């Protein structure tokens, strides 16, 4: 039970929602799978909740090779999983979304909510980071585009201002891609990650641009830019892969919490990139 009172609005137009959200203490809601949990725990006490799900304008998915992918804020996680182009061109992101909670959670939850909640453990984020995703933020005073890598500022914190909402997530199409998202959790299916690792290879049979991002290893999800720069254009020899994995590990600053120790997370940050390279058939280790 939620033991405090709050107002609930369900506007049907974006204008109406943006007007309401200019008020201090008014929170946007999509699936509510994070927001309502936090309200029940009294971690958040909104004056009002503005439910965005009835705004038709926020229910869309578009894809073209020229413009890339754009996902409206109100599209559910299950709807994203069902888009063939997401599975085909953004496999790491697709696997990350599919790994969130159970089917029922994915039926309500959204990618915009996963990002808006800004947990370091958000499973949709590492894949999106490897694809250079951006956010379209809108407010009464207009629109701005923010790179996803610049959105998060700490656990539960981001650069969104009062009155602003994530309108959509934009994911450029940069060429054919292969990839894997691997999540270690305490139980299968229903837990946040102890650590999550996304490895995406753009243009795998050409220039082979290897990208890595991790969840639950720092105050925000992180992309391992230094490791990526190191491995660019290099042959995947045991020495190069070792250094690549060392640099991925260096990009992390894990803590100990209920889901795992910082030592375990730090170790896994080095193990997982190697595992994913192997699973994608890019690197064969002598046993
Ligand atoms: C049983 C269960 C299992 C879960 N398992 C996982 C898991 O495995 N991995 C994982 O990553 N998460 C997990 N979650 C967390 C949650 O389901 C996801 O983060 C989900 O994607 C949140 O989406 P939502 O639409 O429900 O967000 P909401 O709860 O509606 O909103 C989340 C936050 O974003 C803000 N917000 C909402 N809409 C917008 C907007 N348009 N613009 C800006 N901010 C906005 C809200 O104010 C709130 O702070 C789980 C949750 C539950 C209850």
| CATH code of the region 57-171 | 3.30.465.10
CA–CA separation, 143 and 140 (whole Å): 8
CA–CA separation, 100 and 143 (whole Å): 29
Domains of the chain, residue spans? 57-171, 177-279
Pocket lining: 105 vs ligand 1, CB cutoff 6 Å: yes
Residue found under tokens 């109406």: 16
Task: Say what the pTM is.
Answer: 0.97
The pLDDT tens digits of the residues spanning 148-183 come to: 999 999 999 999 999 999 999 999 999 999 999 999
Pocket lining: 29 vs ligand 1, CB cutoff 6 Å: yes
Asked if 74 and 52 count as a contact pair (C-beta separation under 8 A), the reply is: yes
* Second-level CATH architecture of 177-279: 2-Layer Sandwich (3.30)
The pLDDT tens digits of the residues spanning 29-82 come to: 999 999 999 999 989 999 999 999 999 999 999 999 999 999 999 999 999 999
Ligand 1 atom, smallest distance to 160 CA: 43
Asked if 44 and 2 count as a contact pair (C-beta separation under 8 A), the reply is: no
DSSP character string of 52-72: -TT-GGG--EEEETTTEEEEE
Pocket lining: 21 vs ligand 1, CB cutoff 6 Å: no
pLDDT-wise least confident of 57-61, 167-171, 218-222, 252-256: 252-256
Pocket lining: 185 vs ligand 1, CB cutoff 6 Å: no
4's tokens: 């405090």
If you take atom 19 of ligand 1, which residue's CA is the nearest one? 114
């Amino acid at each position: 039970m939620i033991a405090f009172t709050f107002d609930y609005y369900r506007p049907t137009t974006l204008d109406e929602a943006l007007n309401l959200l200019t008020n201090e203490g008014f929170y946007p809601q999509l699936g509510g799978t994070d927001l309502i949990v936090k309200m029940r725990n009294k971690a958040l006490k909104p004056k009002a909740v503005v439910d965005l799900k009835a705004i038709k304008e926020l229910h869309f998915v578009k894809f073209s090779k020229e413009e890339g992918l754009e996902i409206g804020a109100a599209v559910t996680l299950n709807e994203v999983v069902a888009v063939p182009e997401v599975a085909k061109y953004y496999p790491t992101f697709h696997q990350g979304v599919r790994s969130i909670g159970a089917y029922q959670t994915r039926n309500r939850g959204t990618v915009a909510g996963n990002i808006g909640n800004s947990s370091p453990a958000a499973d949709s984020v590492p894949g999106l980071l490897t694809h250079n995703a951006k956010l379209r933020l809108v407010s009464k005073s207009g629109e701005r585009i923010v790179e996803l890598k610049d959105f998060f500022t700490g656990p539960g914190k981001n650069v969104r201002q009062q009155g602003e909402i994530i309108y959509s997530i934009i994911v450029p199409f940069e060429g054919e891609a292969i990839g894997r998202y691997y999540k270690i959790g305490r139980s299968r299916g229903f837990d946040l990650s102890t650590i999550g690792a996304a490895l995406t290879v753009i243009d795998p049979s050409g220039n082979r641009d290897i990208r890595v991002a991790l969840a639950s290893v720092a105050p925000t999800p992180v992309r391992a830019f230094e490791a990526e720069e190191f491995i660019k254009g290099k042959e995947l020899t045991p020495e190069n892969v070792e250094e690549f994995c060392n640099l991925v590990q260096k990009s992390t600053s894990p803590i100990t919490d209920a889901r795992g120790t910082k030592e375990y997370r730090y170790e896994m940050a080095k193990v997982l990139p190697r595992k994913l390279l192997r699973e994608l058939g890019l690197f064969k280790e002598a046993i």
